[in-house]
Amino acid sequence: MLVDNDVTQSRDKGSELQIYLKYFIFAALAIGIVVFIQLGFILKTFKPYYLIVPVILALALGFLFGHVSILRNRLAHKNQLFLAVADFAQEFTYYRLLDGRYEYASPSCFDLTGYTCDEFYQSPNLMDKLIHPDDVEVWGKHIHKINNAGQPDNLDLRLITKDGKTIWFSHICGSVFSADGKQVGVRSTNINITDRKKTEQRIEHMAYYDSLTDLPNRGSLSKHVDELTKSHAAGNERFALLFLDLDRFKNINDSFHHEFGDHLLVELAQRLKRCCKGRGFVARFGGDEFVVVVENLGDPAAAISYAQELVELVEQPFVISNKELYISGGIGISLFPYDGQDSATLIRNADAAMYRAKKETHSCISLYSKDLIEDATAFITTESRIRQGLSNGEFIPYFQPKVSMKDGSIIGVEALARWQTQDRGMVPPDEFIYIMEETGLILPLGSSMLEAVCKQIGKWSKQGLSIPVAVNISSKQFAHPRFINVVKQVIEEYNVNPNLIEFEITEQAFLEDLTSAVDMLLQLKELGLSIAVDDFGTGYSSLSYLKHLPVDTLKIDRSFAADILNDSRDVAILKAIMSLCNDLELKTVVEGVETQEQAKLLLQLGCTVAQGFLYYEAISAEELTEIISRKNIDT
C-alpha cells in the first residue's frame, strides 16, 4: 500500500489544529463555568484583567490535553501504518523477546509454516521447534549468538511445516536495543526460498550428472578421484579405476536409431549402478565409456576379477523395444598409487590400458602396467612380511664407523637398519625402506632402531666403551607430532647419555615448514642430542637455509666422493661447502669414500672425517665391539 506523504502530513496538520482548538474550547468552557460561579462573590470588585488568569489557564490546559491527544493519534497512526505494511508483506516477519515470546508475528507466518499468528503468540520459541533436524545445530548456534547481541547471520535453512512439508527459507535477523543500549529483543524476516533452492540443486545436478543416464559425469569423476588420491596418500590403502568401453557401439547406433542406442546406455547404466552399489563409484565418462572406481582394491588380481564381473554384466542380453541384443566391452585398469597420483593420469592410463586390451592383446581386460601383477604382488607380499618382521624383532642395527682421515681412528658410528630374514639372509635397506616410507611402517621402524641403539649404548658403557652413535630419522618420523615424546621416553627408559646420540636427518625434512623444523631441532638439542644433515648436496640443497638451522654436522653425499676425481665442478662445489661449513662452524663427514685417491684429494680439500668402504662397511655390534676393544688395547 502506497501512502502519499505530503497529503497525509498536510491533512495531519489541519486536524491537529482542530484538536488544539477543541481542547482549548473545552478548557475555556470549564474555566468559564468556574469563573461564572465565582463571579457572584467578586462581582462588586470585578476588573476586566481578572479574566487574564483563567484565559491563560484555559490556553495551557487546552494545549496540554490537545498535545497528549495528538501524540496518541500519531502513535495509533504509526501503528496502523506498520501493520498495514508488515501484515501485507509476503515474508514472515516477527519480533520476539529474549525469553522467546513473540510480540509480533506477521500473518504470512501461516504461508511459510502453516501455523497462525495466535499459535506463535501462544508458544514461545515456536520457530525452534520447526527447524529441520539437519539444521538444528546451525540454528542453535545462531540463536545463542543473536540472544547474546552477537553479529546477525544471514542463513539459508530448512523448516518443517505444520503439514509435514520441508521448506527452505532465508532467515535474516538483528537485535533490538532499548534507548539505554540494553538488548530487549530480536526482529527477523523469513523468506520462502524453496523454489530458488530447487533450481540451484537442479543446476548443480546438471553440472555433475549426465543428463541421459543420471550417472555422475566426467567432472564429478575427476573430483571424486582427486579426493580419493588425497585421502589415500597418507595411508596404505589403494584403489582401482576401471575404464569400460563398449565394442562397436557405433554400429548399434547406425543399424537401429539413436534413441535405441540411448535406451541401451540407460539400461547399462542401471545395471552398473546396481552391481556396484556400496562397492564402487560409477560414472559415465562420455559416449559409450563408463568408469568404475573401486576403493580398497589395490591387489591387481582382485581388480581383474572385479573387471571380469563387469564384463559378464555387459554381456548379458538386453531387451530393448522388444529386440534382444548382445553387446560386449573392454576394460582397462589403472591402480593408485602405482599408475598415477592424480585423476587425469589415472584416467588416461586406464584408457590406454583399455585401448591396448582391445587393439593389441585382443583380450577384454588389461592392467596399465604390464609387469604390475608381479610387481604389485611382490610389494604387497613384502609389505605384509615387513609387518611380521617388525613384530618379530627381525630389524636390527648394523654400525658403520666414521673415521678420522688423519689417523684412521673411529670417532663414532652410524646405525643402519638390516632385516634379518630366515630365507634371504640379511636384507639391505634399499629393499624395504621405500615400502616402509610409503606404508607408514617407517614410524615403528624408527622407534625400534632408536631403542636398539640406546640398548647397545648401555651395553657398551657397561664395558667401559663410549661410542657416539648416529641414528637415521626419516622425514615422516621428524614431522610426526609425537616424535619428540617418543625420543624423550626412549632416552629416559634406557637411561643413556643423550650426548652420545646424533640424529641424521635429510634436507627434505626441513623444506616444508622451516619454522617448525627449527623449533623441533631446538627441542632435540635441548635434550642434549646432536643433529646432522644427511646426504647433503642431493636434490634440494639450498646453502642459504643452513644458517637458519641449529645443526652440528653436514654429511656430504657420497655422489661427491664418487665424482671428485673426474669432475672438476664437484671439486669446486665441495670447496664451497667446506668453506661455508668453516664459516658456520659446522663439522663435516664425507660419505662413500672408497679409494685412497679420493681420500687424498678430500684431505687436500680440508675434509677430516669420512665414512666409506675404504675404512669399514656396516658391521654387527659384536664385530664393532671387538674392533674397538682391540684398537683401545693397541693404542
| Contacting positions for ligand C2E (CB under 6 A) | 400, 416-417, 428-430, 433, 442, 446, 449, 472, 474, 504, 534-535, 558, 591-594, 611-613, 618
Rg (CA), the chain: 44
Which lies closer to Mg ion via its Cβ, residue 351 or residue 502?
502
* Number of residues this chain uses to bind Mg ion (CB under 5 A): 4
Which lies closer to Mg ion via its Cβ, residue 91 or residue 535?
535
Q: Is position 504 an interface residue for Mg ion (rule: CB under 5 A)?
A: yes
Which lies closer to ligand C2E via its Cβ, residue 331 or residue 417?
417
Q: Do the beta carbons of residue 20 and residue 63 sit within 8 Å? A: yes
CA dihedral 590, 592, 596, 602 (to 10 degrees): -20
Tell me the closest approach of the beta carbon of residue 426 to ligand C2E, in angstroms. Answer: 11
Q: Do the beta carbons of residue 482 and residue 446 sit within 8 Å? A: no
Nearest to 443 by CA among 490, 392, 488, 479: 479
Tell me the closest approach of the beta carbon of residue 573 to Mg ion, in angstroms. Answer: 17
Tell me the closest approach of the beta carbon of residue 419 to ligand C2E, in angstroms. Answer: 10
Tell me the closest approach of the beta carbon of residue 596 to ligand C2E, in angstroms. Answer: 13
d(CA 1, CA 71): 24
Would you say the C-alpha torsion 614, 620, 626, 631 has a positive or negative sign?
Answer: positive
Burial class (CB in 10 A: 0-12, 13-18, 19+), 578: buried
Q: Do the beta carbons of residue 397 and residue 420 sit within 8 Å? A: no
Helix pair 372-391, 442-462: axis angle to 10 deg:
40
| 192 contact, one of ligand C2E, Mg ion, none, CB 5-8 Å limit per kind | none
Which lies closer to ligand C2E via its Cβ, residue 385 or residue 476?
476
Which lies closer to ligand C2E via its Cβ, residue 131 or residue 416?
416
Which lies closer to Mg ion via its Cβ, residue 331 or residue 521?
521
- What is the DSSP secondary-structure string of 272-294? HHHHHTTT-EEEEEETTEEEEEE
Which lies closer to ligand C2E via its Cβ, residue 538 or residue 629?
538
Would you say the C-alpha torsion 5, 6, 11, 16 has a positive or negative sign?
Answer: positive
Tell me the closest approach of the beta carbon of residue 445 to Mg ion, in angstroms. Answer: 14
Tell me the closest approach of the beta carbon of residue 534 to ligand C2E, in angstroms. Answer: 5
Tell me the closest approach of the beta carbon of residue 495 to ligand C2E, in angstroms. Answer: 22
Q: Count other C-beta atoms under 10 Å from residue 532's C-beta.
A: 24
Tell me the closest approach of the beta carbon of residue 535 to Mg ion, in angstroms. Answer: 4
Q: Is position 91 an interface residue for Mg ion (rule: CB under 5 A)?
A: no
| 210 contact, one of Mg ion, ligand C2E, none, CB 5-8 Å limit per kind | none
Which lies closer to ligand C2E via its Cβ, residue 42 or residue 426?
426
- Helix/strand/coil for 170: strand
- Helix/strand/coil for 585: coil
Listed in sequence order, the residues at least 6 apart from 138 whose beta carbon sits closer than 8 Å to its beta carbon are: 155, 157
| 592 contact, one of ligand C2E, Mg ion, none, CB 5-8 Å limit per kind | ligand C2E
Which lies closer to ligand C2E via its Cβ, residue 400 or residue 553?
400
Parallel/antiparallel/unpaired status of strands 323-325 and 318-320: antiparallel
Q: What is the DSSP letter of 209?
A: B
Which lies closer to ligand C2E via its Cβ, residue 157 or residue 562?
562
Q: How far is CA 541 from the centre of its chain?
A: 30
d(CA 230, CA 355): 27
Tell me the closest approach of the beta carbon of residue 385 to Mg ion, in angstroms. Answer: 24
d(CA 564, CA 108): 87
Q: Is position 507 an interface residue for Mg ion (rule: CB under 5 A)?
A: no
Would you say the C-alpha torsion 554, 560, 561, 564 has a positive or negative sign?
Answer: negative
Element (H, E) at 518: helix 514-526
Which lies closer to ligand C2E via its Cβ, residue 31 or residue 417?
417
Q: Do the beta carbons of residue 413 and residue 448 sit within 8 Å? A: no
| 31 contact, one of ligand C2E, Mg ion, none, CB 5-8 Å limit per kind | none
Which lies closer to ligand C2E via its Cβ, residue 307 or residue 562?
562
Q: Is position 334 an interface residue for Mg ion (rule: CB under 5 A)?
A: no
Q: For residues 390-402, b (16+ Cβ closer than 10 Å) or e, as one string?
A: beeebbbbbbbbb
Q: Is position 245 an interface residue for Mg ion (rule: CB under 5 A)?
A: no
Q: Judged by CB under 5 A, which stretch of 30-38, 74-82, 345-353, 500-508 contacts Mg ion?
A: 500-508
| Sheet (strand 154-160) strand order | 102-105, 92-97, 183-192, 166-177, 154-160
Tell me the closest approach of the beta carbon of residue 433 to ligand C2E, in angstroms. Answer: 5
- Residue showing cell 547404466: 269
| 449 contact, one of ligand C2E, Mg ion, none, CB 5-8 Å limit per kind | ligand C2E
Q: State which amino acid sits at residue 306.
A: Y
In the range 445-474, which residues lie near Mg ion by CB under 5 A?
472
Which lies closer to ligand C2E via its Cβ, residue 366 or residue 400?
400
d(CA 466, CA 107): 89
Tell me the closest approach of the beta carbon of residue 430 to Mg ion, in angstroms. Answer: 13
Which runs of consecutive H residues, i.e. helices, occur in 547-620?
A: 558-563, 568-583, 596-604
| 553 contact, one of ligand C2E, Mg ion, none, CB 5-8 Å limit per kind | none
Q: Is position 534 an interface residue for Mg ion (rule: CB under 5 A)?
A: yes
d(CA 591, CA 594): 9
Tell me the closest approach of the beta carbon of residue 590 to ligand C2E, in angstroms. Answer: 10
| 433 contact, one of ligand C2E, Mg ion, none, CB 5-8 Å limit per kind | ligand C2E
Q: Is position 535 an interface residue for Mg ion (rule: CB under 5 A)?
A: yes
Tell me the closest approach of the beta carbon of residue 521 to ligand C2E, in angstroms. Answer: 17
Tell me the closest approach of the beta carbon of residue 593 to ligand C2E, in angstroms. Answer: 6
| 429 contact, one of Mg ion, ligand C2E, none, CB 5-8 Å limit per kind | ligand C2E
Which lies closer to Mg ion via its Cβ, residue 504 or residue 507?
504
Q: Do the beta carbons of residue 386 and residue 580 sit within 8 Å? A: no
Instruction: Note the residues at the interface with Mg ion (CB under 5 A).
Output: 472, 504, 534-535
